[in-house]
Structure 1
Amino acid sequence: MIDSLGQVVVYVNDIEQAAKFWKDQVGFELVERQENLGLVSYLVAPKKDSQVQIVLQDKAQVAELSPELDLGTPSFLMESADLDATYQFMLDRGVLVMPIVDLGLMRVFNFSDLEENYFAIREVKK
């Protein structure tokens, strides 16, 4: 049986810029830099001990090693206990953010990384 979701892989064109974006602009922590068979990847997460991490991998290198893979960006929904503060934090750091939307069941906003991949953050009161 599956016990949890551990990592989500995001394939990017510029791995160094992507790692910098997630660390400096989104405020994630760099968990680890890995290199295996010449393939560099970065593990980033909201906190080093987060249950789920984002793995950033070089799209071109992965395509060369595994041409059968779908390298599209997954959609995932992150959570914040203070959506307004998270929104302002990202806005202040130059992240392209869409307006906060109240969907009735939740408040949410989308943001874009430097490669125009979009991600969402919803408010979860603790």
Structure 2
Amino acid sequence: MIEKIGQIMLYVEDQAAVRDFWVEKLDFVVVAEKVVNGEIQWIEIAPSKGVETTFVLQNKKKVAEMNPEMNLGTPSMLLFGTNIGELYEEYKNKGITVGDLVDLPIGRVFNFADNEGNYVAICER
């Protein structure tokens, strides 16, 4: 039986740069980072320590080499947050690419893009 969502794999071109985007611009934390022979194997990040679901930044090229049939596209992700209006303005002031802030039946929502152009939505419920 499935009990929870553990990790979401994000396949990226430059793991260190994407890590820095999430940590420096979005205040995420690095939960774990595996380096072998000076090469990043994976980086686990989260909005804060102790959360159950994390993102793992994987090297897109390496994963494609190991499994050429795998879909390496960005999954559609919806994050939940508070004070979305303030967060929207903060992201704009940090130079993050953001879409419009809209009111939907599920709540206020906007999307943003990381430094590789992967879009993520965030919703205030």
**TM-score normalised to the size of structure 1?**
0.91
Q: Give structure 1 regions of 4+ aligned residues with deviation exceeding 2 angstroms.
A: 35-39
Residue pairs, 1:13-92, within 5 angstroms: 13-35=13-35, 40-92=41-93
Residues 32 and 43 of structure 1 are in contact (CA less than 8 Å); yes or no, is this contact kept in structure 2? yes
Of the structure 1 ranges 25-34 and 87-96, higher mean CA displacement relative to structure 2 is found in: 87-96
1:16-55, CA deviations, whole angstroms, 9 ceiling, x for partnerless residues? 1111011001111111102469661111110011121011
State the one-letter code of the partner of 1:114. N
Residues 26 and 95 of structure 1 are in contact (CA less than 8 Å); yes or no, is this contact kept in structure 2? no
- Distance in 1, matches of 2:70 and 2:52, equals 25
1:74-100, CA deviations, whole angstroms, 9 ceiling, x for partnerless residues? 011000121112212222221111121
State the one-letter code of the partner of 2:3. D
- Distance in 1, matches of 2:108 and 2:48, equals 23
Of the structure 1 ranges 53-62 and 91-100, higher mean CA displacement relative to structure 2 is found in: 91-100
| Structure 1 pair 56–11 and aligned structure 2 pair: CA distance change class (3 A) | same
> What RMSD, in angstroms, separates the aligned Cα atoms of the two structures?
1.6
What's the counterpart of residue 11 of structure 2?
A: 11
Of the structure 1 ranges 32-41 and 87-96, higher mean CA displacement relative to structure 2 is found in: 32-41
- Distance in 1, matches of 2:62 and 2:40, equals 7
Of the structure 1 ranges 87-96 and 113-122, higher mean CA displacement relative to structure 2 is found in: 87-96
Any stretches of 5+ residues in structure 2 without a counterpart?
none
Residue pairs, 1:104-123, within 5 angstroms: 104-123=105-124
